[in-house]
Amino acid sequence: MSIMKFIKQHLYRLLFDGLILSLMDSVLATSVPLSQSLKDIMYLNLVIMFTILMRETILFRRWKNSYDQLHHQLQENDVHNNVPILGQSVEEDLIRKIHRYHVAKSDLKVLEIKDKMDEINDYITKWTHEIKMPITVLELIACEVENFSTDKAKELRIEIDRLRYLVGQVLHISRANSLSEDLSYQEVHLDTLIKEVIKSNMNLFIHSNMEIRLGDLNHEVLTDTKWLTYICEQLFNNACKYGKENGWIEINSFKNEEKIYLSIRDNGLGIPIQDIERVWDKGFTGENGRKGNRSTGMGLYLVHKIANQLGHEVSIESEVHKGTCITIEFSQLVDLHVTKMSL
C-alpha cells in the first residue's frame, strides 16, 4: 500500500482541509491590517498544516496496516483458510463479508465438481467391469478361430489384447486422481513381479516378435504391487509399439548405496531430442505418435504421475534409431525401515 494510493483515496478530504485553511486565511487577512497580522497568519497556517500532517500520518499508518495483511495473504494465496481483515470499520466488515461469500461459493463449486467427477468415475468403473464380459467372449471365439485360420486368429488376438489394454488404461486414468487413497505398500521382489507381468502380457511380446532379455532382478523394493505392475505394462506396451521388427527389450535392476533402480531398455525407434522434455506431458504424442496414429499420449503421462504418487523417481534416456531406456528409482528398504523407526 503506497502513500500515493492513500492520497488518491482520501483526496476530497485533503482538498476540503485546504479549502477551509484558505477561507480562514482570507477572513483573517481582510479583518485586520495585513502588515500587523501576516506573521501570525503564517504561524497559524504552519500549526494547522502540522496538525493536519500528523493526523494524516496516523491515518495513513492505520490504513496501511489494515491492507498490508490482506495484500500479503493474497500474494501467498492463503485467503481461503483465513479471514484476513480483522478491523471493525464498515469497509473492513464489507470486505470480510465479500471474502466469506466467495469462499462459500468456491466451496460449493468444488463440491459440485467433486460430485460430478465421482459420478463419472463410478460410471467408468462399472463400464470397464461390464466390458470385460464381451472381451472374454471374444477371447473364447478367438481360441476357436485359431483352429481354422492362423492369420485371422492372430489379428483377432492382437485387437482383443489392444482392447483389454485400452480398457485397463481408462480404468487407471479414472483412479489416478484418487491414487493416494488406493495405495498399499509392501516389499516386492522385482524378479517375481517382472516375470508375472511378462507372463500376463505374453501375447503382446509374441505378436510383436519381441525378445525379452532379463538381467539381474534379484532386488526387493517397497512399493504398491498393483500400480507398479501397471507402470511396467505401460512401458512394455510402449517398447513393443515403438520397437523394431524382431527387436528386444532388456530388463535389469541394480543398486548403489542409496537407491535401487529398475531399467527397461529397448532398441526401438528412439525419441527425437526435441520431444524428450515433453514425453511426460498429458496428451503429448510427439513425432513417433503422429507416425503410427495410435498413440493416446497418456501412457508415459500416467507412468510419471503414478510413479510420483508412489514416491519413485522415473527418468528417460533415448536416442533416435538406437532405442529408449526408462529407469525407475526406488529408495532402499533399509533406509525406509530406519526412517519408519525414527518417526
**172: its cell numbers:** 487407471
Contacts of 47 (CB under 8 A, 6+ apart): none
Determine the Cα–Cα distance for residues 304 and 294; give it in Å rounded to an integer: 20
CA 19 from chain centre, in angstroms, equals: 59
pLDDT for position 38: 74
Determine the Cα–Cα distance for residues 45 and 65; give it in Å rounded to an integer: 30
pLDDT for position 139: 76
Determine the Cα–Cα distance for residues 197 and 10; give it in Å rounded to an integer: 73
- The predicted model scores a pTM of 0.61
* Inter-residue contact 250 to 265 (CB < 8 Å): yes
* Mean pLDDT, contiguous 10-residue spans, the chain (343 residues): 78 85 79 65 83 86 75 60 60 78 88 84 78 78 68 76 80 73 86 93 83 93 92 91 86 90 93 90 79 72 91 93 93 59 46
* Inter-residue contact 256 to 217 (CB < 8 Å): no
pLDDT for position 341: 46
DSSP secondary structure string for all residues of 53-103: HHHHHHHHHHHHHHHHHHHHHHHTT--SSS------SHHHHHHHHHHHHHH
H helix count then E strand count, the chain: 12, 7
pLDDT for position 188: 93
* Inter-residue contact 84 to 71 (CB < 8 Å): no
* Inter-residue contact 310 to 227 (CB < 8 Å): yes
Strand, helix or coil at 19?
Answer: helix
